[in-house]
Structure 1
Amino acid sequence: MPKAFLFMAQLELFSHSGHRVRYRAGLCSTAALGLLLMWVLTYLPPMLVVYRSQGLWLKQSTYVEQPKIQFQYEMLLVAMTGVDPGNFLAWSTYPAFNRLQEDNLRVPLISSREEDKNQDGKMDELQFKLELPLQSTEQVLAVHLILTFSYQLYRMSTFVMQSMAFIQSSSPISGSQLYVNGDLKLHQRQSLAHSGIDTRYNVSVINSTSPFASDYDLTNIIAAYQARNVTTILSGPNPVWLVGRAADAPFVIKATIRYPVEVILYEPGFWEMIKFAWVQYVSILLIFIWVFDKIKIFVFQNQVLTTIPVLPVTPVSSYKQHQS
């Protein structure tokens, strides 16, 4: 009975296919503990290596998308006509703002055109022109212009917001024309979600229903807009300030605003994180498996850890045929 119990307690710890030898030892033997240690050293260090090299989990990722941008035909214009704060002309598409301007209100002539150059169903740029009529004694020294847009993304999460482009330029010499050429770029301080609908910023940049002058102050508008985690900015506008205006000519603002393809920062979903972690882990694990497989072959073949080698049994029929 003790011998049978001892035989049943023997476990096959390792087998080497090249020599067809199996190595047995007790469950609580030194060989079993050594094999357990090698197993831990095989599977745990790859995880630590991956974790220490830029992290195991993918926390942020990017994708490329052409946003759907549409000019909202809403704008606010302030043109300084002197160094005195009271010397200005203003106009907007918001009636409440216009009522506050009184004698400083001046209605411009506006033309705009959006173009889909690659015919993919999404607009690629805006051609904008504003002509501000001036009296012969008036001159423009600085311009501040806000244009609003609808900005939409669909590839991962559905993200919709109301955004703006802020155009400004000034000169000590009165101007005749301002020309701006730039890209309406997405600016993120926070990653977008990988799925779902995000409309937290789908509100007007300017509170057009407010009767208070403070809600139309450029400083307050810019401050509230920049408090968002996701905005658009007019990147690389390259403003050109032209001088030499005729006495009866208007001050002209021309702008070419492109809608470029964007690299969007987002938070990966669960399965994407698992896929990223698994690929990294397995690529390191294969190296450790190969190394420790060689170590186990050496340890068991040379009986560094004491085991019972079990040789393959030759079938009787094969033995008789060999004898004949």
Structure 2
Amino acid sequence: MAIYEVYSHPALLRYKTSICTKATLFLLIVLGLTYIPPLLVTYKSQGFWIKLSTYEEQPVVKFQYQILMIATTSINGDYVAWSTFQNLNNLLGDSLRIPSVSVMEEDKNQDGKYDQMTFKLQLPLQSTEQVYSVNLILGFSYSLFRMSTFVMQSMAYIQHSSPLPGSLLYVNGDLKLQQRQPLSHRGLDTRYNVSVINGSSPFASAYDLTNIIGNYQERNVSTVLSWPSPLWMTGRAANSPFVISAVIRYPVEIITYQPGFWEMIKFAWIQYVSVLLIFLWVFERIKIFVFQNQVLPTVAVPVVKQHQS
């Protein structure tokens, strides 16, 4: 009569031993070699903790109507200047020249945040005056809200000089964020929420470009106006104003920040488990070989399932 298999199922064996045996010591060593080396491997591979991370955000940028303009009007160093700070204007004396200024900020994608600013300054000149160089500082408020709330007062600095007298300086660029250190992942950061120019000071040193730019560059977070190259046009007609025209965009920025504890743990856990699975598979095969072949003496007890009638 032919014999055939009608049913099969795995048999479960429990290997038992007392506490102070070689089998217990072996099991403790296997547990240590299973869980500790993956931690060391992932840590030494420079991919365990995420120290820095990035995200994209459209900043909230607003022009603060803070302006400081200096224009050289002769090769001998004569200049005219103007600002929105009355204390500085009082110090300029005969060099004060009040221009006509127009500003328009636009929200092109209708997301509630300005995307660009169009700026135009018309500087009146005498018939004997020409413009050979321009220094212009524009003050902005700059805010980020997606992770930490970061608020600062920043600036755009425009400078150009030429051996030929000009009639127009045209600039088209982006107000870019510069970071020397990452931002926090949460909280309120207002350490740079102070005016770039101390307009309340009655001293001329507060309005010196060297001091203003030097103090601004010491910041760990700032903005810089990035443009390919300015357009300097010559041939100004008599009694016509010198014009500074600028289009400044506020682009989406890639922000660098320090991840929080739970974000670091989330990525560390993925790194650890991916290596741990390999060690679990290897040492499970080792344990099966050792106990099934009684390399270390243990008592094998079959587990019998109880069926209810």
Query: Could you tell me the TM-score, scaled by structure 1's length?
Result: 0.88
Q: 1:252 aligns with which of 240, 243, 247?
A: 243
Q: Is residue 27 of structure 2 the alignment partner of residue 31 of structure 1? A: no
Which residue identity does 2:260 align to in structure 1?
G
SS at match of 2:169: strand
CA-based RMSD of the aligned residues comes to 1.9
User: Would you identify which runs of 4 or more consecutive aligned residues in structure 1 move more than 3 Å?
Assistant: 312-318
Query: Could you tell me the TM-score, scaled by structure 2's length?
Result: 0.92
**The 10-residue stretch of structure 1 (283-292 or 164-173) with the greater mean CA deviation from structure 2:** 283-292
User: In the alignment, is the contact (CA less than 8 A) between 2:139 and 2:155 conserved in 1?
Assistant: yes
Which residue identity does 1:58 align to in structure 2?
I
Distance in 1, Cα, partners of 2:218 & 2:173: 23
Q: 2:191 aligns with which of 182, 200, 204?
A: 200
Once the 2 structures are TM-superposed, how far is the Cα of residue 237 of structure 1 from its aligned partner? 4.8
Which residue identity does 2:222 align to in structure 1?
T
What residue in structure 2 maps to residue 291 of structure 1? 282
Distance in 2, Cα, partners of 1:316 & 1:102: 105
What residue in structure 2 maps to residue 43 of structure 1? 35
Once the 2 structures are TM-superposed, how far is the Cα of residue 28 of structure 1 from its aligned partner? 2.2
Once the 2 structures are TM-superposed, how far is the Cα of residue 314 of structure 1 from its aligned partner? 7.8
User: In the alignment, is the contact (CA less than 8 A) between 1:69 and 1:150 conserved in 2?
Assistant: yes
Which residue identity does 1:307 align to in structure 2?
T
User: In the alignment, is the contact (CA less than 8 A) between 2:11 and 2:303 conserved in 1?
Assistant: no
- 1:127–1:27 Cα change, 3 Å: same
User: In the alignment, is the contact (CA less than 8 A) between 1:183 and 1:237 conserved in 2?
Assistant: no
- 1:143–1:303 Cα change, 3 Å: same
Consecutive unaligned residues in structure 2, runs of 5 or more: 1-8
What residue in structure 1 maps to residue 135 of structure 2? 144
Q: What are the superposed Cα offsets for residues 168-201 of structure 1, whole Å, 9 maximum, x if unpaired?
A: 1111111111111111111111211111111111
What residue in structure 2 maps to residue 117 of structure 1? 108
Distance in 2, Cα, partners of 1:83 & 1:96: 27
SS at match of 1:126: strand
- 1:100–1:317 Cα change, 3 Å: closer
User: In the alignment, is the contact (CA less than 8 A) between 1:97 and 1:216 conserved in 2?
Assistant: yes
Distance in 2, Cα, partners of 1:95 & 1:43: 70
Distance in 1, Cα, partners of 2:10 & 2:95: 94
Q: Is residue 62 of structure 2 the alignment partner of residue 62 of structure 1? A: no
**The 10-residue stretch of structure 1 (74-83 or 143-152) with the greater mean CA deviation from structure 2:** 74-83
Distance in 2, Cα, partners of 1:144 & 1:89: 11
Distance in 2, Cα, partners of 1:317 & 1:272: 49
Once the 2 structures are TM-superposed, how far is the Cα of residue 91 of structure 1 from its aligned partner? 0.5
**The 10-residue stretch of structure 1 (206-215 or 185-194) with the greater mean CA deviation from structure 2:** 185-194
What residue in structure 2 maps to residue 302 of structure 1? 293
Consecutive unaligned residues in structure 1, runs of 5 or more: 1-16, 319-324
What residue in structure 2 maps to residue 8 of structure 1? none
Q: 1:135 aligns with which of 126, 129, 148?
A: 126
SS at match of 1:26: coil
Distance in 2, Cα, partners of 1:305 & 1:246: 103
What residue in structure 2 maps to residue 99 of structure 1? 90
